[in-house]
Structure 1
Amino acid sequence: MLPTLPDESFTLIYIDPPFNTGREQQRHETSSVRAEPGSGGTVGFKGQSYDRIRGALKRYDDAFDDYWAFLEPRLLEAWRLLADDGTLYLHLDYREAHYAKVLLDAIFGRSSFLNELIWAYDYGAKSKSRWPTKHDTILVYVKNPKRYYFNSDAVDREPYMAPGLVTPEKAERGKLPTDVWWHTIVSPTGKEKTGYPTQKPVGVLRRIIQASSREGDRVLDFFAGSGTTGAVAAALGRQFVLIDQNPEAITVMQKRLAGIPVDWHIDPQPEEAPHL
């Protein structure tokens, strides 16, 4: 499905791929240096030493072939599909975020790295043998660092942690979020819950879509899962394309988006089943 979509047709791409949890680390041998044109070495995507960086990561990570052979071509497609003022949000956890950043530096260019967002939450069991892992990482890259769209004024504000230290006017208005987002997970008993196991909260997607797209812009999510991206995009007046190959995800999305005019395209035996 992704190769059939036209170049530079989305202002915002958000993807929340499956996390790779079966890692075995062997040795540390990586390179994150973006090669300059004419400097020698293997030239990869868009003239960068992409293959060299990929090879270095592969030597370090025994699980690289399994996971990155799956994700890597989709990151390349994300670059192609982003408009010149577009932004990619890649949602991962601590196991893969650092590997993804090196590869995204090679694909997009290090100057296109905008943010590392930390979504922190505090729910569920907590380990007593190490610091409990209660955050996800969202890497933010722009297609063109000189032209990308970002509107902080459109983002919902949040309460000050110490409202007594600011004026009453500021306390009432709230503050702009930073790159650390404290937001609860989807409550197992809340009205937002769809039953999909990896559902992401409306509040997290709302902040992303508010900041990095305008009303009427096109938003893409090709690991759509429970359909949160589409539900939020529709509520904010954006167009959206959702893709997923999991039959459970398709069922959840059909139910969740039932009240929204949607043009469904379902391949009975897809590599990826698209939803618009």
Structure 2
Amino acid sequence: MTVEIVHGDSLAVAQGLPDAAFTLVYLDPPFNTGRARTRTSATAPRLGDRATQTGFRGAGYARLREDLRVYDDRFDDYWDFLEPRLREAWRVLAADGTLYLHLDYREAHYAKVLLDALFGRDCFLNEIVWAYDYGAKTKRRWPTKHDTILVYVKDPARYWFDSDAVDREPYMAPGLVTAEKAERGKLPTDVWWHTIVPTTGAERTGYPTQKPEGIVRRMVQASSRPGDRVLDLFAGSGTTGAVASRLGRHATLVDDNPEAIAVMRRRLPDALVTLPG
């Protein structure tokens, strides 16, 4: 299976990809942690200017975005960055395809509301909670130990989902089920208990935002078939490519960070690499 690594801006690269080419699109964008971000749009509409900003669902989306801006002025900067990339991800998604958007608690609630308006609530499939128990803890509040993965399908009547292909996990109370069921394990729910990449783990690359293969594997197993094409617009350490190729899928990995490209080239030595210029 082919893996292509593309060094470039995710929006520019996505705009050059063909329509409906990918069965699965995974986006793990930079989280809006309060760091300064350069605005990608200097002409965002002001409150009341309903006509200048519309989404796939028209004025309803525009109004929601304007209303959310009132509550959090930092949100608009982040959405200016993320929204056009989501539009392109939706365009290149096949009719039976699935989009996974991986966020943390700072943006997940805003994103859910806007994605419902942008793509339609009928296209919403799941909110996956990835829970882990590692890293620094605070005693001033409940420690934050989860990410959110929002799942949307291009066509609710046609999307591909293969529960039989997904790795199973142990029952939390195996004594409450038959021995046969306990032996087989259960299908994961929308809460995934999975450790982060261990410091000394074999898959660790040293890339700071690396996601564990076990998390990405479930998405690829459930929402694509062998021979399908998978796209990751914020590829980072290349986990999506490593998983997809091992499962017999083609993968296109995009990142504009030279460090990420270097890590992916080491991790995926047989990948095709497209460099700037």
Q: TM-score range with shorter-chain normalisation?
A: 0.7 to 0.9
Q: Of the candidates 266, 269, 275, which is equivalent to residue 275 of structure 2?
A: 266
Determine the structure 1 residue equivalent to 2:164: 153
Measure how far apart 1:47 and its partner are: 4.1
Instruction: Give the gaps of 5 or more residues in structure 2.
Output: 1-12, 36-49
Matched residue type, 1:85: D
Q: Does 1:44 align with 2:54?
A: yes
Matched residue type, 2:56: K
TM-score by length of 2: 0.87
Q: Does 1:114 align with 2:133?
A: no
SS class of match (1:63): helix
Determine the structure 1 residue equivalent to 2:14: 2
SS class of match (1:46): coil
Quick one: distance in 2 between partners of 1:149 and 1:264? Answer: 29
TM-score by length of 1: 0.87
Measure how far apart 1:44 and its partner are: 2.4
Determine the structure 2 residue equivalent to 1:18: 30
Matched residue type, 1:133: T
Q: Of the candidates 222, 240, 253, which is equivalent to residue 251 of structure 2?
A: 240
CA-based RMSD = 1.3
Q: Of the candidates 168, 174, 182, which is equivalent to residue 185 of structure 2?
A: 174
Measure how far apart 1:79 and its partner are: 1.1
Quick one: distance in 1 between partners of 2:108 and 2:188? Answer: 21
Quick one: distance in 1 between partners of 2:114 and 2:268? Answer: 34
Alignment check: 8 A CA contact 2:162 2:221 kept? yes
Alignment check: 8 A CA contact 2:128 2:149 kept? yes
Alignment coverage as a number of residue pairs: 249
Quick one: distance in 2 between partners of 1:207 and 1:169? Answer: 23
Quick one: distance in 2 between partners of 1:82 and 1:192? Answer: 29
Q: Sequence identity, in percent?
A: 72
Q: Does 1:220 align with 2:231?
A: yes
- Cα offsets for 1:208-254 (capped at 9, x unmatched): 10000000000000000000000000000001100000011000000
Alignment check: 8 A CA contact 1:79 1:107 kept? no
Alignment check: 8 A CA contact 2:130 2:192 kept? yes
Matched residue type, 2:276: D
Measure how far apart 1:166 and its partner are: 1.1
Matched residue type, 1:11: T
Instruction: Give the gaps of 5 or more residues in structure 1.
Output: 24-40, 269-276
Matched residue type, 1:266: L
Measure how far apart 1:22 and its partner are: 1.3
Determine the structure 2 residue equivalent to 1:36: none
Determine the structure 1 residue equivalent to 2:140: 129
Q: Does 1:254 align with 2:265?
A: yes
Give matches, 1:64-79, under 5 Å.
Answer: 64-79=75-90
What stretches of structure 1 move > 6 A for 4+ residues in a row? none
Structure having greater relative contact order (Cα 8 Å, sep ≥ 6): 2
SS class of match (1:264): strand
